[in-house]
Structure 1
Amino acid sequence: MRANPSARPEQSQQSVTPTTTLIKLRRVLEKTGLSRTAVYTEPSFPRSIKITSRAVAWIEQEVDDWIAARIAASRSANETE
């Protein structure tokens, strides 16, 4: 079942800074441990950015923030058990 892209949370309208890093799918998969399918269908996962007509990338900080949120959610769930 394909997730509704409009159900994804809005990404902040962040400005590009010298420290903004775009990462390709291979690095996203390495950082998260998710499958390619999960990266594209997980509603809470950051959206990709089209960088050319055939290539996409993700803002590394958004991926890192998503990972941190998963860790925090896991830790708080463990505390309530």
Structure 2
Amino acid sequence: MTTESFDILTLIATCKKISRSRAGVYAMLDARHPSYDPTFPRPIKIGSRRIGFVEHELDAWIVERMQARDLAATTGAVAC
């Protein structure tokens, strides 16, 4: 087992970090919703009725989005 430390963000903190509403985050997690994003990090349970997100996974997702944007800008493609 690793002794690595992880920061867990609550749903509210995650919403602030990615500038989405709670409903928007849940939509990104729902495969039946048009806003579904299979690359978005999966939440973890941090209580009986509470979820959280691993901060470094969110950071990696944001970096991927930035790289897709930059690649699209250099190739003329549309980033999603």
Q: TM-score, normalised by structure 2?
A: 0.73
Q: From 36, 39, 62, give the equivalent of 2:25.
A: 39
In structure 2, the residue matched to 1:11 is none
Q: In 2 relative to 1, CA 16–49 (structure 1 residues): closer, same or farther, beyond 3 Å? A: farther
In structure 2, stretches of 5+ residues that fail to align are: 29-36
Task: Report 1:2-81 matches (<5 A).
Answer: 17-18=4-5, 20-42=6-28, 43=37, 44-81=39-76
Q: Which runs of 5+ in 1 are unaligned?
A: 1-14
User: After the TM superposition, which parts of structure 1 deviate over 6 Å for at least 4 consecutive aligned residues?
Assistant: none
* Secondary structure at the counterpart of residue 52 of structure 2: strand
**Whose strand fraction is larger, Structure 1's or Structure 2's?**
2
Give the Å deviation of 1:16: 6.2
Count of paired positions: 66
Structure with larger Rg: 2
Separation in structure 1 between the aligned mates of residue 69 and residue 3 of structure 2, nearest angstrom: 31
1:24 and 1:56 in contact (8 A); partners too: yes
Aligned residues of 1:39 and 1:45 also touching (Cα < 8 A): no
Higher relative contact order (CA 8 A, sep 6+): 1
